[in-house]
Structure 1
Amino acid sequence: MGNQGALPDVILELVFLGLDSLLWLHRAASTCERWRHIIAGDAFRALYGKRPSVVAGSYHNQGGGYSRPRFEPSPSAAAFDARHFSLDFLPGEGTKYWGWRIKDRRESLLLIYREDWKAQHRDLVVCEPLTRRQKVIPPPNPSVNYWDDEVVLLDGGGGGGGGGIGMTSFTVFLYSYEGGRIRACMFTSGSSSWCKKNICKPPRLFVVGFAAGRRYWHDREKMVIAFDQSTLKFSSFVLPNHQFSERRKMTLKVGHDGEACIVVDGDGIIKIFARQKGDGSGEGGEEWALEKTIQLSAAMLGLPEPRFLGLTRDQPQDAGMMRIILRHDRGGVPGVPSTSMRFHLNMETMEVECLPSPDLHYGGYPYEFPWPPSLRA
């Protein structure tokens, strides 16, 4: 690399700030110790601004769960050695009695459920593949079946880069159903045990998702139950002028104001419900209102009438954006597969952007490079 010491740090910082690609910045950080320390330093991070997001690829659960999840690099990150993303540092390989399943991911961390079927031992592991660090999460008391229960990985709310997430700053939420009750458990990186909350649940309850610090369920009618991760309290409310059905899809999005909104898709008619401003969630309960109705049509996309048009399962994390999918039959010829296109729709401006191609890693768990960069030379 020549005489790297000839340039002072302040000059190198300016060079790194001028890099057009975030991936190049990560490559520079992996070149040598000095460059990595400069890019990871507080001074450069203050100049650079918010945490950059660079997707290295996706992890995929293997069929049957008998093998460790596999990693598929994205084309832009192909220059990095795939061995950096291996999960071989996690114990338990080499026997047919071990089961593996990724439950969630967030930025550079994975949340993995691991089970030794022979010993009947189950645990959760939070790990960062590039730094090969891991933390085994002790089971709650009484124990649960991680395979079927919902487990999500969230920001730690402190440390790890100003309230972000890292191996020293993360939160694991576990939601299980027992005897007509929801049990919500929280484990933080700095603790050694779980904090638990319970609530009686309706006879039928279905997951909506997580957004803006709260987890939501619905009963496929009008009732919605929310759990606030900051207060560890449950609340419930009714969606006005809405009747759910088996054909409708409900999901969560974050609006441009940073607040959660509930999006309901029914035969191409999108209804967006928002929490009322100034709602204190007092004794009367919180109130939500229908904020907008969007009629999805092929005309708004400049395309002929499709066989199917609606929300995708893999919704983007961008505030105010939703992802829709359009499917066409190829002339109705038997045996000829249908084509599909994906679009991003701005919920506020109604602007539509066609995605260049179906997501290569659709159905997987996108993995981001750590920030600050941790990949050593």
Structure 2
Amino acid sequence: MTFRMPPEWAPHERTWMAWPGPNPTFTDDRELAEARAAWAAVARAVRRYEPVTMVVGPGQSEGARELLGAEVEIVERELDDAWMRDIGPTFVTDGEGGLAAVDWVFNGWGGQGWARWEHDSKIARHVADLAGVPVLPSALVNEGGAIHVDGEGTVLLTDTVQLGAGRNPEWTREQVEAEIHARLGTSKAIWLPHGLTGDYGRYGTQGHVDIVAAFARPGVVLVHSQKDPAHPDHERSRTYAEILRGRTDARGRTLEVVEVPAPTVLKDEDGEWVDYSYINHYLCNGGVVLCTFDDPNDEIAAGIFRRLFPERTVTPVDARTIFAGGGGIHCITQQQPKV
């Protein structure tokens, strides 16, 4: 039986999320409260379009319910952190009504010193059990934010993630591709050399692709574009666009690249380069939940998404608090395809 990962724009049964709890990502009560408010805003936005299930730590349901409202389903399981895209399963379908969950090895984004993953490494199986689907285990250290598919055989990957020393030091590129293709039903991998500069900071993922590039439909890929030469991502984003413009997908189509301008802000309050990106959006049934940053380019990005997805409603959600923790809207959501 052959399974494949449907593209994000395919119909969803529901969205899975994980609730922020006390952990090293949120260092004090204020940060935790801000994170919970931000996660809740995303959950409520997604719930406009499809069901949402929030996994929360034991004993945290009451507080979560106050922020989430009655329409978001809540289930309790042990958690370390709150990035469901990475700790949860990657759902795949067999084309005949069957659904399964790929369980990648999760090791705290390459075994980073601040990270904990005793419980998060088991969340994919918990979610699969709650969804009532079989688990397809993989020996590859990988996260959901490190892959993006077009649904027709093409997958985007990053050298510093799947081939990074903290994840799969003994694997060759060919071995990684073989495992990815076997689990996702893809046949062609397009590798980018690295992620955005800010993604290599304290809470960074070391190069996740879902903040850099994402398919909008087969043959069309969105790419982060930093226009300001003062930011080190200026050259990086030019490299991404050049690589992708020169590539074909699994069906032999030359990729059309749509550059999405980065927000105008360059550094955060601590003087660190930001990796704010509109690429880290989430497609749900009839909607686009779009990261915004109280920035002049928010509306420019929204206009790009409205043109690309005329059948979907663009819903903006302020993502600055989420990015401060190391990710964005795509990073905290995980789709379960409808079969």
**Into which bin does the TM-score normalised by the smaller protein fall?**
0.3 to 0.5
Q: Which has the higher contact order (CA 8 A, sep 6+)?
A: 2
- Rg larger for: 1
**TM-score normalised by length of structure 2:** 0.37
- The structure richer in strand per residue is 1
Q: TM-score, normalised by structure 1?
A: 0.35
